[in-house]
Structure 1
Amino acid sequence: MAAAAHGNGYDPERTRQCVERIEALDRKKEAAHMAYMAECAVFAEDKKAVYDEAKDAWGIPKRALKAVIKVRATERKLEKMRDDLESDDQDSFDQIRHALGDLAETPLGAAALKGKDGDLGLETPAQSKRRKEREDRDAALNAVSTENGDRIMSGISQLNS
């Protein structure tokens, strides 16, 4: 430390060298970041093409598809957060979620609320409403998917005739 000191301050030459090295590293980092962003742009263009294809070829609304992708990514993050906890903490996490009534929203929680003969009526009204909304949404998506698939298959059959 004493070697860096110069008179009443720091050695101007060594200080300048440190600053220049740090600034050079910042420039390299920025260049690497720009190259990375250019590579990512290719993936973004590919994703856009898939969204466009889903809309044009299959009639899948882009906004809804993007929302589904975002929800699925969020669900994976949430599962990973729980999985990253130690076993005891996972148990505590589950107990807290159970106390809040959140586990009914998971497949395991939904199964726990149902007996082998069907629904036991253990859902709260809010949970029942969300389950119904999910079922309606899934039915609508299945209908659109089936309708589009039938239309495409009939088009293929006509082409083969």
Structure 2
Amino acid sequence: MDFKLKENASKILFLALFAIAGLVAMRINFSQALGASNQFFTLFQFFAPVAGGFLGSALGAAAVLIAQFVDFVFVGKEASLLNVARLFTLVAAAWYFGTNAKQKWAAAIPAAAIVLFVLHPIGAQAWYYAVMFWSIPILAKFFYADNLPTFSRKAWVRR
């Protein structure tokens, strides 16, 4: 019981620290470092999905949602379609990274991303980009995830 309480307390602490770090990371635009000066890609958008890996699907998605919500309220971001799409993209990514290898249904998230990308008129012209990019997590969910524990055990366990 005591261990469970400490584990929950550490998750809540991580959630709070992640939300605070997320607010700072939202101010760091590193699109120019990637060679796209007219775009806006923040450090938060880069590392937000990792929260799912540390906290699990629900808490990771909640951490991203809390940080984004606080940013919307206190900074006064406009609730435009683009900002809402960016919000739910990060929440879905955190949820996906929090799923384990046995949850094959989570492959529906990148499959939905492919469909949504191709449904857009401009995205339909570059459908192959979405298929190639979003097939990686789908393939990893079905093939690589089963081999990862075996590989890790063979690579790191000394006999």
TM-score w.r.t. length of structure 1: 0.26
Q: Which has the larger radius of gyration?
A: 1
Which structure has the higher relative contact order (CA within 8 Å, separation 6+)?
2
Higher strand share: 1
